[in-house]
Chains A and B, each alone.
Chain A
Amino acid sequence: MDSFWLIPILPLVGFLANGLVGKRLPKQAVAWIACLVVAASLLLSARAFYALMQVPPEERHVIHPLFTWVESGDFVARFEFLLDPLSAVMMLLVTGVGLLIHVYSVGYMWAGEGFYRYFAYLNLFMSSMLLLVAANNLLLMFVGWEGVGLCSYLLIGYWYFKKSASDAGKKAFVVNRVGDFGFLLGILLAFLTFQTLDFQAIFQQLGPEGEFAAESGKWGTLSWIAFLLFIGATGKSAQVPLYVWLPDAMEGPTPVSALIHAATMVTAGVYMVVRLNPLYSLTPGVSGLVATVGIFTAFYAATIALVQRDIKRILAYSTISQIGYMFAAAGVGGYAASIFHLSTHAYFKALLFLGAGSVMRALQNETDILRMGGLRKYLPVTYWTFLAATVAISGVPLTSGFFSKDEILVRSFSSGHTVIGIVGLATAVLTAFYMFRLFFLTFHGEQRLAPELRRGIHEPPPSMAVPLVLLALLSLFGGYGYGYLEGFLEPVTGEPLPARGEHSEALVLLTAVASGLGILAAYLFYVRNPTWAAAAQQALGGAHRLLWRKYYVDELYDRLFVHPLKRVSDHFLWRGVDERVVDGAVNGTAGLVRDLSGFLRQMQTGYARAYATWILLGTVGILVYYWMGG
């Protein structure tokens, strides 16, 4: 158990090794290094997990200090890791899914240039995510938090020669920064309030005997902290309104999308909320907001996914939607349910992306599902594994997704959040529909492939197929351990198993019906009567266009934020002050036409005079301020 601190460190070692000397190593060596360090982390995580199970629940809390990071007066932050049930589960999940994606990547990225670079980034990404998960204080968590943001930027923009890719990388980073702005403020406010950033110390103050227990339920400082941190979560976990980066993040290599969407990065926000559940439990206002934003995002993203044509884009919106479920669960107090859905989602979403990657690989990077179809007989392994993931995400009974989604709905209803539960059910119908639409259009029906693509469709090599199969098994059967998981997490999520409402049986049925409805509709529209789809699109012209253009949010954001900022910068501060005022002073009086090449013109004192005027104005400004003020 003592060696768990190596879990985040090992991938970092892999990053350094591949980053520094990877260029001179053969590809095999690079691949081995990258996969082995993650495998080692996985083994250590498993060992730590096992060790935790061996001790009684109240002792499942190990802190491993590495060194005192910052110490200045009251400001103390230690570089130390925390092993408790929550971080153990997360580490196991991250390293497990991460390892499979690493292995898959070896085959997927083999042909490309910069193989070592890719794996170096991937390892760094793993290291940051594990750091985020293992951190024992908010500041260290923030390091991992920013780290995954940075790595996602590197990985999304990995195919830098594609302009769309580098733009997407930048967008991801900048949007994340907006979220991080809230997160950082939250940290600072937390420090101001608690005088510490250590989780345990904060929880102590929040506990029944702590000084903040009295603030429970009031909209005060605690709520502000929770709210600001949640802003960070909406950025990192792609929730409304900061979700816009995630669909664009499809520009990265497909295994990267799998990694970002499945076990890492986007789940960071959910993890954060669950980790800080004592805070969120005391702030019902913010928790309500979390649940509302979550369920709204779930529904909203699902509607967009209904009409998209790009296989990865559909999966991206489905991720946003599923993460929304997790936030909804956390918001209504179902922290364990949230983590449960996080883990099942990790399995099937990773599988969906890897399957999509396998399809794209076979079709030379075709992503439009309307130009696929009938792939079932060419790609049997991909077909069956993809089916496993699709049934799981659609919530077909007895698959992992069914259990976790049902649990979220149960928690919503039993805690009295009926609206959230109903929207959740509706979203489940939509989810089943768009996922099976994707599935049918890709694998069933007639072939709509471009002729030149028909030849040479082949299954991926074993290094890619094996992860698919493993993930398929997890997607199907990974939901049976929930009872155990909930009990295991109890020391962290801190709630006794609530008495399940009498209507929970009915809910199970409802969940099953919801998924059945969606699947049936998809079957009718896309297999039975393919003409219906076109007819529906015709009939719903305006609505369809709205969904297709994703509610025009990208355009809106561009108008609202990007353009004005640029305009202020461009026109006012640079052209305006620098050129218009200053040059105006020079050119206007001298009557010269502005010529670009003339630095002699700049030698004229007019420039300096204008600058001196600014200084003078500033001086007068300060003097007037003092004069008015006293």
Chain B
Amino acid sequence: MPTDLHYLAILPEIITAATGIAIMLLDPFTAPQHKGRLGWLGVAGLLAAGVAGAAQSGRTMTAFGGMVQLDSYSVFFRWLFFGVSIGTILISLQYLKREGVHHSEFYALVLFATTGMSFMAASVDLILMFIGLETVAISTYVLAGFKRSDPRSNESAVKYFILGAFSTAVLLYGIAFLYGQTGSTRFDRVAEALSAQGPSAFFLVGLALLLVGFGFKVAMAPFHVWTPDVYEGAPSPVTAFLAVGPKAAGFAALVRVLYSALPDMENHWGDVLGLVAVLTMTVGNVAAITQSNIKRLLAYSSVAHAGYLLVGLVARNELGISAVLYYAVVYALMNLGAFTVVVIWSGAGETRVHLSDYAGIGFRYPFLTGCLSLFLLSLIGIPATGGFMGKVFLFAAAVQSHHVGLVVIAVLNSAVSAYYYLRIIVIMYMQEPAAQVPSVEIPVPAAVALVLAALGTLLTGLYPSALLDLASRSVLAVR
């Protein structure tokens, strides 16, 4: 029996999991028209978990036989995940009703996925990391297929499931290699064994397979192939969640495992990730240029952004990881925001997701399109938005560690990306609207999410210090 059973260390996860269970339990007893209340219960649970997380900030402890580590790093990501999940629920409340799939299991699944993400960031053991990852994966498989009667949603879920299972198997294989060589799944023991034995073939194979598994999760090229199809077919709020939550969680775990478990192989993973970063950015941006479906476009854009994030990882210095954390937050804000607009504008049955459906709506819906423009500008990396500062930090870190070639490609990529983001703005403001611009109502919770995301995007651009401080304090736990 382990002696370090500090339940307090995982209190936020306990709260989110318990709230999820409570929602499922209450669901059969809730009248269909009141399902929204369970969504709010989910929000309350996430807020409570956030508060519980805040109460622990500043403390560092290891719990459950060295599986979980409570430190500023896990606290940082917990807050990010809770925020993302709250945003997802806010934009889903009206959406689920509109699409006629208002089942409270949705909220429960989001909470379960949140629990998993949270554990991914907090785990210092390959097994727990894997379980967290699987919790996220299985919840999101179901979420992707949440619109049961919509073939697109089904298709998305099946593809995601099959490929996810495939990549998870690869990841597990990698874990097995590492365990086989070191005799332990704990990060610190793996690191010890590595520095004692040197990077043998087993380590290399383990590392390679691990990178593949995470590559799938965070959609690095060429493991990104699933993203466009899955993102396009999944219900839009789920797409938003997928593009933000699990991706950030993947990076959280990847950073932790690379820096804590395999620091002595940093040249090995640094090289490969550098190549992968170039490939990812380029494929994402170039493929996005010709997309005509906004969800597909944003899917490729999320691939490209994974590439930018990798640049920070490749930098292998403190600023680099801080920048990854910083950009993860900014990316969450702007992507959630952009998808919120997509959710609202797509209309019942998600019929308006083609770029041409956005023609000329700029001055008809100034709030929606204004926000979307802001998020797109931030995705381009225009100054005064968080996206700009994030890119500056990422690229500055890489320059600091003399990865100039990588930065050149990254900056070139972000110049290319301006083209397709801008196209959306051009279509919204500078094209003739369709004969009849449909009218949409903007639900209050989604509007709140939108405003918060917009404010966050601006604030991180105008006053990045606060967040960057927090991020750089958080990385100390890892490095």
Contacts and interface: CB of A to CB of B under 8 A. Distances in A.
Contact of B286 (A69, A184, A565, A612): A565
Interface string B397-417: 001101010011001101110
A73 interface: yes
Contacts of A503: none
Interface string B254-289: 000000000000001001100100000001001111
B166 A615 contact: yes
Contacts of A565: 286, 289, 416
Interface in B356-410: 363, 377, 382-384, 388-389, 392-393, 395-396, 399-400, 402, 404, 407-408
Interface stretch (A336-344, A362-370, A601-609): A601-609
A194 interface: no
Nearest to A117: B363
A176 B399 CA distance: 23
Contact of B432 (A161, A173, A573): A161
B422 interface: yes
A177 B417 CA distance: 10
Interface string B456-479: 000000011100110010000000
Contact of B289 (A143, A173, A184, A566): A566
B319 A73 contact: yes
Nearest to A179: B415
Contacts, number: 184
A603 B318 contact: no
A188 interface: yes
A619 B465 CA distance: 39
Interface centre among A142, A174, A569 (most CB of B within 10 A): A569
Contact of B472 (A72, A568, A600, A602): A72
A185 B407 contact: yes
B159 A578 contact: no
B211 interface: yes
A486 interface: no
Contact of A72 (B322, B411, B463): B322
B306 to A, nearest CB: 14
B156 to A, nearest CB: 10
Nearest to A189: B399
A578 B222 CA distance: 13
Contact of A599 (B155, B205, B383): B155
Interface in A211-247: none
Contacts of B408: 185
Contacts of A577: 225
B396 A191 contact: yes
Given A174-B419, A184-B411, A615-B212, A608 B384 contact: no
Contacts of B430: 157, 160-161, 165-166, 169
B283 A626 contact: no
A609 B290 CA distance: 24
A12 B58 CA distance: 40
A428 interface: no
A17 to B, nearest CB: 16
B154 A615 contact: no
Interface in A73-119: 73-75, 114
Interface residues of A, number: 69
Nearest to B468: A72
Contacts of A72: 319, 322, 393, 465, 468-469, 472
A146 B383 contact: yes
A577 to B, nearest CB: 8
B393 A75 contact: yes
Contacts of B412: 181
B204 interface: yes
Given A177-B415, A619-B170, A147 B211 contact: no
A593 interface: no
B289 A619 contact: no
A611 interface: yes
Given A181-B411, A622-B212, A188 B163 contact: no
Q: Is the interface of B mostly helix, strand, loop or mixed?
A: helix
A607 B229 contact: yes
Interface centre among B215, B216, B422 (most CB of A within 10 A): B422
B431 interface: yes
Contacts of A139: 392
Contacts of B211: 622
A605 B155 CA distance: 10
A327 B216 CA distance: 50
A208 interface: no
A313 B430 CA distance: 23
B103 interface: no
A506 interface: no
Contacts of B468: 70-72
Contact of A618 (B215, B318, B377, B407): B215
A623 interface: yes
A73 B323 CA distance: 12
B339 interface: no
Contact of B212 (A69, A170, A619): A619
Interface in A550-574: 565-566, 568-570, 573-574
Contacts of B40: none
B162 A605 contact: yes
Interface in A166-215: 166, 169-170, 173-174, 177-178, 180-181, 184-185, 188-189, 191-192
B199 interface: yes
A614 interface: yes
A615 B167 contact: yes
A630 B204 contact: yes
A626 B204 contact: yes
B223 A184 contact: no
Nearest to B166: A612
Contacts of B464: 69-70
A170 B380 CA distance: 14
B421 to A, nearest CB: 10
B334 interface: no
A62 interface: no
Interface of B: 151-152, 154-155, 158-159, 162-163, 166-167, 170, 199, 204-205, 207-209, 211-212, 215-216, 221-223, 225-226, 228-229, 268, 271-272, 275, 283, 286-291, 318-319, 322, 363, 377, 382-384, 388-389, 392-393, 395-396, 399-400, 402, 404, 407-408, 411-412, 414-416, 418-419, 422-423, 426, 429-432, 463-465, 468-469, 472
23 contacts: A74-B319, A143-B388, A146-B388, A153-B422, A157-B426, A160-B430, A181-B411, A565-B289, A566-B290, A570-B289, A570-B290, A607-B159, A608-B159, A611-B225, A611-B226, A615-B170, A615-B222, A618-B212, A618-B221, A619-B212, A626-B208, A627-B204, A630-B268
Pick the 6 closest A-B CB pairs, nearest first. A160-B430, A166-B430, A143-B383, A573-B287, A618-B222, A569-B289
